[in-house]
Amino acid sequence: MQNYWISIELSEESRGRIQRIRSTLTDVVPDIFHDERNPHISVLPGFAIPEQHEPSLRETVDSTEIQFDLISITGLDLYPQTEPYVIALDVTTDLSHLREEILNEIHRIGGEVQYEPVDPHITLFKTGDNPSAGLLTNTRDRALIDRRIQVLETDSSVHTQWEEPDFSINMASY
């Protein structure tokens, strides 16, 4: 069995915007967080399939009809709201059809889902892939981040909301 994940890769323009947002947050983000250097939207964050079926799954990924033309990036958020371990950009798009088609093929070829899909978002910083990696519990640090997010959300020079028309689906091993 080989491990894979499927993501939506963003345009260079969006990657630049994300880098500007990350740069304006860096000085208030506590050391328990690290940068997510590959901005993407996870479609399926982790699954394993028999290696010989990789071409079949790639064909399914490549041929699945994407039922949206735009991805809406809708602002900054912390996950979860209490004691967060992820600082992210919210994303509004319906990935259910895409996920269903791919999951059906994964199960058909004898694959196993290792990480359940999550709501669409673009991670900027995280302490790890789950809460056990560390949580933001310091109220002073939280207040600094919350204030910076409020400033960014109203700063017209830093876009925290936009439409992304140029994206692609990527399947990679890990």
The total domain count for the chain is 1
Instruction: Give mean pLDDT, residues 34-58.
Output: 94
Q: Give the confidence band of 161 by pLDDT, cuts at 50, 70, 90.
A: very high
- Model confidence at 82: pLDDT above 90: no
**What's the CATH number where 65 sits?**
3.90.1140.10
When pLDDT is cut at 50, 70 and 90, the band that residue 113 belongs to is: very high
Task: State the residue range of the domain holding 149.
Answer: 2-173
Q: What's the mean pLDDT when you consider all of the chain?
A: 91
Write the pLDDT tens digit of every residue in 117-157. 989 999 999 997 767 767 788 888 889 889 889 998 888 88
User: What CA–CA distance (Å, rounded) separates 170 from 158?
Assistant: 28
Strand 121-126's sheet: what is its strand order? 34-35, 121-126, 86-92, 71-79, 161-164
Can you give the pTM of this predicted structure?
0.87
